[in-house]
Amino acid sequence: MTDRPLPHPPTTGGPAAVVTDLTVDRGRVRALDSVSLSVPTGAITVLLGPNGSGKSTLLNVLLGTVSPTTGSVRVLGAPVRRALRTGLVAAVPQSDALDERFPVTAAEVVMQGRRRFTGPWRRPSALDRLAVDESLDRVGLADVAGRRVGELSGGQRRRVLLARCLAQEAALLLLDEPFNGMDAGSEEVYVDVLRELAASGRTAVVSTHHLATVDRLADSVALLNGCLIAHGPVAETTTPQILSTLLGARLPDPADRPAATEGALS
């Protein structure tokens, strides 16, 4: 695998995203209620909460696909739409966005991440091809570059989508439930790549309703259940007491902490 260090992204010096008093009504449902959250740059923030707790809603607000009912949101120091125009925000939605029947190869999907460099019509340069090869290599998929994504496992497809974010050289990654249905091997690679990204100054916001991997992955955890229950270091926010009281999660004995990571909040 490639061991060239990732280049540092441009940074505003402040937090990667700031959400202030955000309330979002979706139809008749209040999905988020007065949420205020600052997402630190160069770190991994995990949004942890049961199904329906507003994780996807929050990510979609950061991505501009869901509008706040009230409150304000700034991304990379700018209003959401302006931040998106920079091409520095990359996202992987909750449902696998790859159509299995579409005859597109892994390398072609990753090349989509280069659009902000090539534009929609220009042919990819040698540099773009190199970036695609390196990105696939980083997620351990160099050997399947030419394969159709429909032939890949679910975990491999998610790694392809992560490679697309890498090729985009995004400063902020918004990843919605990337570990759902992922095999252990893919998960390990995925977490390693995200940690490497954070070490290079990039920021990731990763939602999950599984406790699995939170210990290894997160710099901080934002516990959501419609409102923000807590935000802080893993050890302070994922204590069995907080989780079981506030989220109604069924947790194994605290002495079995590794086993606890198997649990899901649902």
Ligand X SMILES: Nc1ncnc2c1ncn2[C@@H]1O[C@H](COP(=O)(O)OP(=O)(O)O)[C@@H](O)[C@H]1O
CB 44 within 8 A of CB 202: no
Burial class (CB in 10 A: 0-12, 13-18, 19+), 32: buried
Which uninterrupted H or E stretch holds 86?
none
Q: Distance between CA atoms of 258 and 256, rounded to whole angstroms? A: 6
- Asked if 266 is part of the footprint of ligand X (rule: CB under 6 A), the reply reads no
Query: For Mg ion, which residue of 56, 156, 203, 238 counts as binding (CB under 5 A)?
Result: 56
Q: Is 95 in the site for ligand X (CB under 6 A)?
A: no
Closest distance to ligand X from the beta carbon of 26 (Å): 4
Q: Count interface residues toward ligand X (CB under 6 A).
A: 12
Q: At its nearest, how many Å lie between ligand X and the CB of residue 253?
A: 27
Nearer to Mg ion (CB atom), residue 56 or residue 238: 56
SS3 content of the chain, % helix, strand, coil (to 5): 35, 25, 40
26 makes contact, choosing from ligand X, Mg ion, none, with CB < 5 to 8 Å by partner type, with ligand X
- Residue 54 interacts with, from ligand X, Mg ion, none (CB under 5-8 Å by kind): ligand X
Alpha-carbon distances, residue 245 vs 116, 230, 242 (angstroms) = 45, 12, 5
- The distance in angstroms from the start CA to the end CA of the chain is 37
We find the least distance from the C-beta atom of residue 169 to Mg ion, in angstroms, to be: 26
18: Cα within 13 Å, side-chain hemisphere: 11
The answer to the question of residue 110 lying near ligand X (CB under 6 A) is no
Q: By rule CB under 5 A, what string of x and - marks binding of each residue 77-96 to Mg ion?
A: -----------------x--
Of residues 163 and 218, the one with the C-beta less far from ligand X: 218
C-alpha 48/C-alpha 214 separation (Å) is 9
Burial grade of 227 (CB within 10 A; 0-12, 13-18, 19 or more): middle
Q: Binding to ligand X by residue 45, rule CB under 6 A?
A: no
Question: Looking only at residues 50 through 69 of this chain, which bind ligand X when binding is defined by CB under 6 A?
Answer: 51-57
Interface with Mg ion by CB under 5 A: which residues? 55-56, 94
Binding site for ligand X (CB under 6 A): 26-27, 29, 31, 49, 51-57
